[in-house]
Amino acid sequence: MECKNYCVVFIIFAVAIVQAVGYDTELFESPPCDSNACFETLHGALGDCSCNVDTIDYFNNVKIFPRIQSLVSKDYFRFYKVNLKKECPFWADDSRCAMKYCHIKTCSKESVPGFDGYEEEYLEESPALKYSLDATTPCDQDSDHDPDLGYLNMTISAASQFEIAKWKAYDDSLENFCQCDDKDADAEFVDLSLNPERYTGYKGPSAHRIWRSIYQENCFRPKTNPYQSFPYVLSSDLSNMCLEERVFYRAISGLHTSINIHLCSKYLLSEKKIGFAAPPEGEWGPNLEEFQRRFDPSQTYGEGPNWLKNLYFLYLLEMRALAKAGPYLEREDYFTDSPIEDEETRNAIKNMLGVIYSFPDHFNESLMFNGGTQAATLKFEFREHFLNISRIMDCVGCDKCKLWGKLQTQGLGTALKILFSGRWDSEGDPGQGRLPLRHKSQKRLQRTEIVALFNAFARLSNSIRELENFRSMLSGNMEQEKKNIFAASGSSIEIAEKCASGGAKPRIWS
């Protein structure tokens, strides 16, 4: 009999191992617990920074959320230029979303407010133009000039001009953490307000492969990782990684978490609502069951609350980038060809940045990449890994998912550029203030990068605000469950009598 019990225990253990090894990005299916388990540990310190969850909740929901949502509704931030026609550079694009909710609505360039000013930013001066006849002053205009003594051959061949242009492109690329395709011939303008981020039905092997490739092939992982088929790094293993590697992983995890929250909060509840006033595109709203499936500890090997903490960590990182580039961003024109709109946008920017400056516990990027050659190598790998992730976004098979994936990835890439490129490290740059900011010599960020940066931060702010809604929904469910149990058990007197007689005992709620 004892041997039989050992066999049963062994079989159960083997089944558990098979489940873990066969794990994909879809976590194992089991009924979610109807409790507040997702939020029980979502408080206190975040780790790798001095801030805590509760401080961010209040700061975001009360101060930042209303400001950033109002800001990104301005014309300057509504229009995003992106190339959604790029082929996947890593594998054959074998799955395209055919649902109507996957499609996006593009707009003509003429409908973009301030389009002329937008295009001026892309008229970059070629290095070869410095030596053209129009750009040089003839030396023989001087009275004491001797042509024979002062002769200088300033001709540059077409091949040399091409090489100089490549040098400049290479130098510029060293600062970028993600690819920018707004200069591509196939790039189009998209009105973000007409293409909201929400659950489109895009799922399955194609969608899973995106995140599996990001986590398993492009994220830093512990050198000894026993969970090779498990795409994520367990929070207990993060201590086996250096600070820079942890920051990278937690930033990607926070981005993934934020996107998942958006999909859960804007879920297609039904194709059509009963009645004549039904919206033409169906009914969208929060899906609590889907939220629990993605974040409940019982569904995620206990990792769900840690993923939610990574959202707060990424929020701190991007907020620090806004604060660091704040003086530069305050001097941007935000041109839309409407003086009143532009002035309102500039005032809104200064107001929100002022609130961000007041936050006491910003992310401290100065602790990273210190240590000579080894740190320089790690920084190069850090940038290359993220650059690769930005390319993976072209493999997304749903156009709407691709749009918001590329925008939020570019927003995070812009934040990393601000934090780690070194161009914002020196205070009191002598060049600042001498020329108008729109002068090409002082352009540190292109318009598309600024649009992505603010919209990406707005998405993180929205995610944290949505967590409050899901927390309330879970609390409401718990209260309803209490009522149902007590109703099914009879009156309080009957329950007491049962307890006294050794019968059913009342359930204790935490």
pLDDT digits (tens, 9 = 90+) for 468-483: 999 999 887 666 655 5
Share of residues in the chain with pLDDT > 70 (%):
66
Judge whether 27 and 300 are in contact, CB under 8 Å.
Answer: yes
Q: 248-281 pLDDT, tens per residue? A: 999 999 999 999 999 999 998 876 555 555 566 6
Local confidence band at 463 (pLDDT 50, 70, 90 cut-offs): very high
Rg of the chain, C-alpha, whole Å: 28
Lowest mean pLDDT among 178-182, 270-274, 455-459: 270-274
Residue 339 has pLDDT above 90, yes or no: yes
Label residue 466 by pLDDT band (50, 70, 90): very high
Do the Cβ atoms of 287 and 267 come closer than 8 Å? Answer: yes
Residue 196 confidence (pLDDT) above 80: yes
- Which residues are part of a known binding site for FAD? 198, 200, 211, 253, 256, 294
Classify 436 in phi/psi space as left (phi over 0), alpha (psi -120 to 50) or beta: beta
Residue 324 in this model has a pLDDT that exceeds 70: yes
d(CA 497, CA 316): 54
pLDDT at residue 25 is higher than 80: no
Q: State the average pLDDT over residues 359-381.
A: 90
Residue 436 binned pLDDT confidence (cut-offs 50, 70, 90): very low
Mean pLDDT of 10-27: 41
Higher model confidence: residue 109 or residue 34?
A: 109
Give mean pLDDT, residues 282-303.
89
| Whether the Cβ atoms of residue 402 and residue 84 lie closer than 8 Å to each other | yes
Confidence category of residue 307, pLDDT binned at 50, 70, 90: very high
Catalytic pick among 51, 219, 401, 499: 401
Q: In this model, does residue 441 exceed pLDDT 50?
A: no
Query: Is residue 166 very low, low, confident or very high in pLDDT (cuts 50, 70, 90)?
Result: low
Q: Looking at the predicted structure, is the pLDDT value of residue 309 above 70?
A: yes
Give the pLDDT band (50/70/90) at residue 26: very low
pLDDT of 77 higher than 70: yes
Of 96-110, 229-243, 383-397, which gets the smallest average pLDDT? 96-110
% of the chain at pLDDT higher than 90: 43
Beta strands, E only, 339-387 = none
For the cut 80, the answer to whether the pLDDT of residue 61 exceeds it is yes
Higher pLDDT, 242 or 440: 242
Say how many CA atoms lie within 13 Å of 253 toward its Cβ. 28
* Average pLDDT over every residue of 83-105: 79
Is 7 tagged catalytic? no
- 256 and 211 Cβ atoms separated by less than 8 Å: yes
Residues contributing to the annotated binding site: 198, 200, 211, 253, 256, 294
Give the alpha-carbon dihedral of 45, 51, 55, 60, to 10 degrees.
Answer: -120
Q: Are the C-beta atoms of residues 251 and 317 closer than 8 Å to each other?
A: yes
d(Cα 274, Cα 209) in Å, to the nearest integer? 37
Q: Span 307-317, mean pLDDT? A: 96
Least confident span in 48-57, 219-228, 440-449:
219-228
Measured distance between the N- and C-terminal CA atoms of the chain, rounded to whole angstroms: 40
Q: Is 3 one of the annotated active-site residues of the chain?
A: no
Which of the residues 49, 97, 102, 398 is marked catalytic?
398
Q: Each residue of 372-390: pLDDT tens digit? A: 888 999 999 999 999 999 9
Residue 79 has pLDDT above 90, yes or no: yes
For residue 154, the model assigns a pLDDT of 58
User: 228: pLDDT confidence band, cut at 50, 70 and 90?
Assistant: low
Helix, strand, coil proportions of the chain in percent (round to 5)? 55, 5, 40
Looking at residue 114, what is its pLDDT? Answer: 77
Q: Which of 132-146, 213-227, 452-466 has the lowest mean pLDDT?
A: 132-146
Q: Does residue 66 have a pLDDT over 90?
A: yes
Chain segment 109-142, per-residue pLDDT in tens: 888 887 766 655 554 444 444 445 555 555 555 5
pLDDT on residue 47: 85
Which of residues 350 and 146 earns the better pLDDT score?
350
Residue 68's SS3 state is: helix
Average pLDDT, stretch 151-161? 63
* Residues 43 and 310 sit within 8 Å (Cβ to Cβ): no
Token couple for 147: 């042509």
Looking at residue 437, what is its pLDDT?
Answer: 47
Query: 165-169, 337-341, 390-394: which range is least confident on average?
Result: 165-169
